[in-house]
Structure 1
Amino acid sequence: MKIIIPSAKLVPEDLQSLGKLPAIVYPVNQKIVFDYLYDEYKGADFRVVDFENAPIVHRRLNNYKVNILDLDKLGDLGMTIYQGLKDVDGEGIINFADTIVEDNISGIAGDAFYYSKDVTSSTWTFFTDEKGRITNIVDKKNSNNSNVEKLFVGVFKFSNLTFFRECLKHAFMADKLEIDTFYYALKLYSQKYPFKVIRAQNWFDIGHADKYFSSQIEVKAREFNHIKIDKNRGILTKTSDGVDKFIGEIKWYLKLPNDLEYTRPRIFSYSTSYTKPYVSMEYYAYHTIHELFLYGDLSEKQWIDIFKRIEFVCKDYSRYSVNDSTKIKEALEEMYLTKTITRLQTLQKDKHFKNFFDSPINVNGKQYKSLNEIIDILKEEIPKKLYDVDHFNIIHGDLCFANIMIDNNNNFVKLIDPRGKFGAFDIYGDSRYDLAKLCHSLDGKYDFIIKDLFKINYDINNAIINYTINDRVRDFDLYQVFTDVFKNEINGDLKKIELIESLLFLSMIPLHGESLEQQLVMLGTGLNLLNRSVNILA
């Protein structure tokens, strides 16, 4: 099945807070639109037609099996699709880049398209039909009436794309058209090949700001089994199978001092019962920093503003502290040494990693000591370098980019999914740990790794890993921007923070057993980072 996706234009201006992005790569709930279409039409022959900001489409879709066609010049929708239909015949689907419909049109025989209904307006293209033959089209025109009419959703299945291409040629030659040539051709095509006109049940519109944020809510609620969202009240209710960790999360929300509650969602109700814990909180249709980092196209100034907001929160948390030297040392040992060694010992039982414990490890041409040798080094170096803390501050505990939400103007930050425990402490912990979590997104590229945005080749028999991260191309150093903004919080401890960052990567490897490639990239990243602070060269 051939899938033609016209994505020649940028999203509307009111959706450009993330940058000037074409719709096909616009983020939706920590994915991009193309991810949903790629899953919807598994194994299909994809062709994306682009023009505005085409390089970003090529970069974002680099890891997918997709043919990307760059237009020489921008025309109307019909011309974009016409170019996309070159050398295409037989049946196929045209799916607008700002449209996700999870109703599986590919399983419908013959010609078909999806529709919805709304009050007539300039927002949509409306139509009437008789038995699948389109009789009239009103293309995004203002209307004085308030009738509810059928509108095109943006997904069309054709049994004869060759004939549809001929219909487009006729449209290009027509005089004084008041509708886009695509819709003129669609009407013409329907006279010979009547459509099945089907009401869309699961339509997510990404092309209009109001509908986009509503779609975000719908998609989030569908994708996470433990989340329910009341759209009318703006309330998100979360449950979890990991009871202990989840109760710790709820208690973190509740124990925050009153003057720090602005950093978390408002809590409406909760239960910390072991039988059925839950929390109901205010829902925000904000983007996560994870989405901005992976899929946005933000300027240096925008990133400075974002980091300043996060830095303010960290500084505000530091106003609260506890002093208990014995408990603090025990917590540091548990979090940095014991956890890391225990996780590596778990990894040692995995047959894929046996040789990494027994032999020197080659990462991108650098030769490191074996993991058995590195474990011995960590036992000596971690106490020396990381036990020098005499007080703890309030921390989030899992301050990765996916857990930080920010409004469209980069003014307000909300933190979600806290760790809730640091050793024997609940809301208190080592503030360097939060900074290391930020670094493991920015510096270690954790967000890219978990989305498989990397290239790798490896030889587990000889403990060899070669990988590259498909990082964003920017005209500024984002990690340097971060360290500049957080200069006072880092306070000369960058090497120690990067050491903690390396331990995060090394300790998370056994938790990602569903992907050996991700595990190997995490191992390579962890060793590269560790070598900045501790000499582990073979």
Structure 2
Amino acid sequence: MATVRLIMSGAVVGQELAAEFGPLPPSLLPVGVQRLYDLQLLALAGGAPFHLVLPETYDISDHDLARLAELGVEIVPTPEGLRLGEAVVYALNSIGAGDEPVHILHGDTLIASPPLDQADLIAGGARTHEYAWAEMEVGADGRIRRLVNTPAGEDGHEGWPVAAGYFAFASGLDLLRSLTRMRGDFIEGVNHYLEGHAVRLVPAEGWLDFGHLQTFFQSRLAVTTARAFNTVRIDGLTARKSSADSAKIWAETHWLQEAPPAVQVYCGRLLGFGGEGGQVFYETEYEFLPVLSELFVHGAVGRKPWLRILASCEDFLRACAAERGPGRGDAALKALAADKTLARLERFARETGFPIDRPISLDGAAQPSLVQIAERLVPAYDLASGRADSVMHGDFCFSNILYDSRVRRIKAIDPRGLVGEKPTIYGDLRYDLAKLAHSAVGRYDQIIAGRYDCQFEGHDYRLAFEPIACQPWLEAALGDLEVDGVGGLSASVRALNVSLFLSMLPLHADRPDRQRAFVANALRLWRDLDQA
């Protein structure tokens, strides 16, 4: 007998989460470079069909539609304002469910190993936070007697487990009758079902709750992994970054130590550093905050919050620019961009056989070769400007910027700390602006998240990004920004933006699809710069 599997995400998240991420259905919340539904469907793999219940007024993107179709998911739009039990009844009637088993997962819940082949059970676990929960009275035989709603802040019943958000009912018709009889009240409907069915408690293995602000960030922490070239260990209090590349780690430590107080207020707080097990490390205070790359790619944050975020980025850059260094910023640009780009392109050609000296095209229009583009960019850097050094973060992109909406201040993490072989806090402001632009204009984070379409035939590339509502006016706001006499999208900043995508090509050898997107994106950014 087929089993109906419902992921109930028919209402947007509550006010706390909406203030951070925008009015999203819970299954579409960002978790790193993916949405929560990616993790939920991975855990549910092996059972079919899947149905994702979403508000009928939610405008789901074409990319999400394609991704869900790829995962074998049918979307069930439901009217706004339905209670959970009413939404379940509406969904079951919409898909024409019969008397087959019905498995329900709450849209803000992730269960690592749900018992997909069993029915008449409810996954439960211990209450860990003082939010409102549905507690379960369980008999000595393991049968669930009833569910009781416990309001937020109350102690509840000692020893009673709480429903973790995964329910499996053997009879879809009996579930429908029970929910209808209880007028759409989900808990009371389940209690009515319990009267006629022996439903047992099963432990909620790997249970993560994303439904509240506090539990969201703790749950996200549990599924976040570090990048391959370093190791980050997080215990909920501190983040320890370690690597066998001692020069890199010591340079970052030096930057966090030496940055002036006006800059440090926008950065992660250094707590300690040292060596252990053949690696060096440093520790910073861990921040339970959203990352700008998450907000940009998967969030639904409005224009005003984004402008506040950009204003805080500007405040940070102004604090950096106010602290002059002993040398010239041009020297940092030469080391980080001009000298590196051609060498990286040659490495890319050796490793892949890509003809970097052959002209290519974008959208059918001829473009120079990658080498020609790199050589033409160098004059645009304005390396002879004699610009003074100032404090430079060195990797000021969305994936390294957190945002605290309560105090309206960013937190920048993972500073570069190295220019060439020299540990330093100083460099060129334009490089930080280019890193910011490579997220907002270059749309690097969308490429990493796979939210684009790149086609190529021969040497002709076509690239399209998933539309993001905030992107056009965020790009416009960055163009209006000026720090220490440098425009946020001045010619030198835009030229650096192109070079960043050329330089990163060999760093993604494990993902040829990304490399193709980087090539196409470098052509797009070059074309826009060349035609300006």
Q: TM-score, normalised by structure 1?
A: 0.86
| Contact in 2 for aligned 1:216/1:285 (Cα 8 Å) | no
- Give the aligned partner of residue 167 of structure 1: 175
Matches within 5 A, 1:121-140: 123-130=132-139, 131=141, 133-140=143-150
- 1:205 and 1:323 map into 2 onto residues whose CA distance is 50
- The residue type equivalent to 1:254 in the other structure is Q
| Contact in 2 for aligned 1:449/1:518 (Cα 8 Å) | yes
- Give the aligned partner of residue 286 of structure 1: 289
- 2:157 and 2:144 map into 1 onto residues whose CA distance is 21
- Give the aligned partner of residue 360 of structure 1: 359
- Give the aligned partner of residue 164 of structure 2: 153
- Most deviating of 246-255 and 138-147: 138-147
| Contact in 2 for aligned 1:112/1:195 (Cα 8 Å) | yes
| Contact in 2 for aligned 1:26/1:32 (Cα 8 Å) | yes
Q: Which of 23, 34, 38 lines up with 2:37 in the alignment?
A: 34
- 2:172 and 2:205 map into 1 onto residues whose CA distance is 26
| Contact in 2 for aligned 1:453/1:469 (Cα 8 Å) | yes
The 4+ residue runs of structure 1 with deviation greater than 6 A are: 119-122, 221-225
Instruction: Note the C-alpha offset of 1:5.
Output: 0.7
- 1:363 and 1:235 map into 2 onto residues whose CA distance is 46
- The residue type equivalent to 2:8 in the other structure is P
In structure 1, the gaps of 5 or more residues are: none
- 1:10 and 1:223 map into 2 onto residues whose CA distance is 31
Instruction: Note the C-alpha offset of 1:512.
Output: 1.4
- 2:377 and 2:161 map into 1 onto residues whose CA distance is 68
SS of 2:146 mapped into structure 1: strand
Residue 336 of structure 1 pairs with residue 337 of structure 2:
yes
| Contact in 1 for aligned 2:362/2:520 (Cα 8 Å) | yes
- Identify if the C-alpha distance between structure 1 residues 148 and 58 changes in structure 2 by more than 3 Å, giving closer, same or farther: farther
Instruction: Note the C-alpha offset of 1:118.
Output: 2.9
- 1:43 and 1:437 map into 2 onto residues whose CA distance is 42
- 1:430 and 1:503 map into 2 onto residues whose CA distance is 15
What's the CA shift string for 1:197-242, capped at 9, x where partnerless?
Answer: 22224221111233223323333479998333333xx222222244
| Contact in 1 for aligned 2:52/2:75 (Cα 8 Å) | yes
Residue 82 of structure 1 pairs with residue 85 of structure 2:
no
Instruction: Note the C-alpha offset of 1:485.
Output: 3.6
- 2:155 and 2:266 map into 1 onto residues whose CA distance is 45
SS of 1:252 mapped into structure 2: helix
| Contact in 2 for aligned 1:267/1:282 (Cα 8 Å) | yes
- Identify if the C-alpha distance between structure 1 residues 53 and 295 changes in structure 2 by more than 3 Å, giving closer, same or farther: farther
What's the CA shift string for 1:435-469, capped at 9, x where partnerless?
Answer: 0111110111111000000122222xx11222211
Residue 64 of structure 1 pairs with residue 68 of structure 2:
yes
- 1:254 and 1:297 map into 2 onto residues whose CA distance is 36
In structure 2, the gaps of 5 or more residues are: none
- Give the aligned partner of residue 13 of structure 1: 15
What's the CA shift string for 1:110-131, capped at 9, x where partnerless?
Answer: 4433101339977011222344
Residue 204 of structure 1 pairs with residue 208 of structure 2:
yes
Residue 505 of structure 1 pairs with residue 514 of structure 2:
no
Instruction: Note the C-alpha offset of 1:83.
Output: 3.2
- 2:266 and 2:414 map into 1 onto residues whose CA distance is 12
- Identify if the C-alpha distance between structure 1 residues 490 and 300 changes in structure 2 by more than 3 Å, giving closer, same or farther: farther
| Contact in 2 for aligned 1:6/1:84 (Cα 8 Å) | no
SS of 2:110 mapped into structure 1: strand
SS of 1:305 mapped into structure 2: helix
- Most deviating of 123-132 and 442-451: 123-132
Q: Which of 368, 387, 392 lines up with 1:395 in the alignment?
A: 392
- Identify if the C-alpha distance between structure 1 residues 381 and 399 changes in structure 2 by more than 3 Å, giving closer, same or farther: closer
- Give the aligned partner of residue 112 of structure 1: 121
| Contact in 2 for aligned 1:221/1:229 (Cα 8 Å) | no
Matches within 5 A, 1:288-367: 288-324=291-327, 330-351=331-352, 354=354, 356-357=355-356, 359-367=358-366
Q: Which of 241, 262, 267 lines up with 1:238 in the alignment?
A: 241
- 2:483 and 2:64 map into 1 onto residues whose CA distance is 32
- 1:475 and 1:401 map into 2 onto residues whose CA distance is 13
What's the CA shift string for 1:297-346, capped at 9, x where partnerless?
Answer: 22222111111111011011111223435xx5554333222211111111
Instruction: Note the C-alpha offset of 1:284.
Output: 0.9
- Identify if the C-alpha distance between structure 1 residues 243 and 2 changes in structure 2 by more than 3 Å, giving closer, same or farther: farther
- 2:418 and 2:341 map into 1 onto residues whose CA distance is 16
- The residue type equivalent to 1:292 in the other structure is L
Q: TM-score, normalised by structure 2?
A: 0.87
- Give the aligned partner of residue 47 of structure 1: 51
- 1:145 and 1:322 map into 2 onto residues whose CA distance is 60
- 2:67 and 2:382 map into 1 onto residues whose CA distance is 39
- 2:272 and 2:232 map into 1 onto residues whose CA distance is 15
- Identify if the C-alpha distance between structure 1 residues 259 and 171 changes in structure 2 by more than 3 Å, giving closer, same or farther: closer
- Identify if the C-alpha distance between structure 1 residues 241 and 67 changes in structure 2 by more than 3 Å, giving closer, same or farther: farther
- Identify if the C-alpha distance between structure 1 residues 274 and 149 changes in structure 2 by more than 3 Å, giving closer, same or farther: closer
Q: Percent identity?
A: 24
What's the CA shift string for 1:341-392, capped at 9, x where partnerless?
Answer: 11111111244x53x4364322223221233xxx245335404643134222
What's the CA shift string for 1:20-45, capped at 9, x where partnerless?
Answer: 22111122345432122133234654
Residue 227 of structure 1 pairs with residue 232 of structure 2:
yes
- Most deviating of 95-104 and 165-174: 165-174
| Contact in 2 for aligned 1:74/1:80 (Cα 8 Å) | no
Matches within 5 A, 1:174-193: 174=182, 181-190=185-194
SS of 1:287 mapped into structure 2: coil
| Contact in 2 for aligned 1:119/1:146 (Cα 8 Å) | no
- 2:472 and 2:377 map into 1 onto residues whose CA distance is 34
How much is the aligned-residue C-alpha RMSD, in angstroms?
3.1
